[in-house]
């Protein structure tokens, strides 16, 4: 019988539950054999086809919670390693991290205001904030806003965007950053902020969710993201 697969209301899935089926898989991912993996069969929408990412399979925390995920964004390469087999490269620096439920979280700043953010490998923007977190950070001060569209589980959603003068994540400083603002949900532990993979563009990053640990290759210069043209 179909089982209801409850989805936590997060920006990447639009907050909608789906009725799906479950199955057990054996996978080989980059030479790593994964057996007995319980997988949900869901409607991924444009995530799975040519309209979007073309990714019919999404690895979740059941996998990432047991392995170290190493991403070389510049060379577009990914490795999955056992935690006891991972050795960070000499130029990689550890960023203080903590557990946030089953996810990994770091402290970031937006124009000097601190907020705890979940590192979301499924998000692209450098930073996304709930409306409450954006208000606390002083970003909802009447500055110009725009509307952006994100591909999510089963379709697409719109989110308000604005430009933050500065954002810091670990030792990296970003200027003129387009920040997405999304609605929160009355759920304990709902993330107030998300750090997306654009934060690691041109760098290498390794995530150990079980550690919890986060390493990034060092950056010695300020990265600048040009705001999108409006109108």
Q: Read off the pLDDT of residues 148-200 as tens digits, 9 standing for 90 and up.
A: 777 666 666 778 999 999 999 998 999 999 999 988 777 777 899 999 999 99
Helix (H) or strand (E) holding 134: helix 131-136
Q: Read off the pLDDT of residues 55-66 as tens digits, 9 standing for 90 and up.
A: 888 888 888 999
2 or 35: which carries more pLDDT confidence?
35
Average pLDDT over residues 68-74: 92
217 Cβ contact partners less than 8 Å away, ≥ 6 residues apart: 89, 91, 92, 93, 203, 204, 205
The pLDDT value given to residue 4: 35
The pLDDT value given to residue 16: 59
In angstroms, the CA 83 to CA 94 distance is 15
Checking if the pLDDT of 15 tops 50, the result is no
165 Cβ contact partners less than 8 Å away, ≥ 6 residues apart: 111, 175, 176
Checking if the pLDDT of 231 tops 50, the result is no
Q: Per the domain annotation, does 1 fall within a domain?
A: no
The pLDDT value given to residue 215: 97
The pLDDT value given to residue 14: 47
The number of beta carbons lying within 10 Å of the beta carbon of residue 112 is 10
In angstroms, the CA 179 to CA 222 distance is 17
Please, what sign has the CA dihedral across residues 96, 102, 103, 109? negative
CA dihedral 61, 31, 55, 58 (to 10 degrees): -10
pLDDT band at 12 (very low <50, low <70, confident <90, very high): very low
If one counts the domains in the chain, the total is: 1
The pLDDT value given to residue 190: 83
CATH number of the domain residue 89 falls in? 2.40.70.10
Residue pair 105/119 in contact (Cβ under 8 Å)? The answer is yes
CA within 13 Å, CB half, 28: 1
First-last CA distance in the chain: 49
The pLDDT value given to residue 5: 34
Q: Which residues of 148-179 are buried (b: 16+ CB within 10 A; e: fewer)?
A: eebbbbbbebebbbbbbeebbbbebebeebbb
Q: Read off the pLDDT of residues 122-141 as tens digits, 9 standing for 90 and up.
A: 888 899 999 999 999 999 99
Q: Per the domain annotation, does 190 fall within a domain?
A: yes
Residues written for the chain = 231
Q: Per the domain annotation, does 3 fall within a domain?
A: no
pLDDT band at 218 (very low <50, low <70, confident <90, very high): confident
Which domain does 125 fall in, by range? 8-224
Q: Per the domain annotation, does 2 fall within a domain?
A: no
In angstroms, the CA 152 to CA 44 distance is 8
Predicted TM-score (pTM) of the model is 0.82
Percent with pLDDT over 70 in the chain: 82
Q: Read off the pLDDT of residues 93-113 as tens digits, 9 standing for 90 and up.
A: 999 999 999 899 999 999 999
Cα 178 versus chain centre, distance? 15
């Amino acid at each position: 019988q179909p089982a209801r697969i409850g989805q936590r209301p997060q920006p990447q899935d639009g907050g909608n539950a789906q009725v799906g089926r479950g199955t057990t898989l054996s996978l080989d991912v980059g030479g790593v054999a994964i057996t007995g993996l319980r997988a949900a069969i869901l409607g991924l929408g444009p995530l799975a086809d040519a309209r979007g990412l073309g990714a019919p399979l999404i690895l979740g925390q059941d996998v990432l919670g047991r392995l170290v995920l190493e991403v070389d964004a510049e060379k577009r390469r990914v490795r999955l390693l056992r935690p006891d087999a991972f050795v960070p490269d000499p130029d990689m620096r550890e960023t203080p991290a903590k557990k946030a439920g089953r996810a990994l979280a770091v402290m970031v700043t937006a124009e000097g205001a601190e907020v705890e953010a979940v590192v979301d490998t499924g998000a692209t923007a450098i930073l996304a904030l709930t409306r409450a977190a954006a208000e606390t950070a002083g970003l909802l001060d009447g500055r110009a806003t725009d509307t952006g569209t994100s591909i999510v589980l089963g379709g697409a959603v719109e989110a308000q965007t604005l430009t933050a003068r500065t954002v810091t994540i670990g030792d990296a400083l970003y200027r003129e950053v387009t920040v997405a603002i999304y609605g929160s949900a009355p759920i304990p532990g709902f993330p107030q902020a998300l750090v997306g993979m654009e934060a690691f563009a041109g760098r290498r990053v390794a995530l150990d969710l079980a550690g919890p640990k986060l390493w990034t290759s060092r950056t010695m210069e300020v990265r600048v993201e040009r705001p999108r043209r409006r109108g």
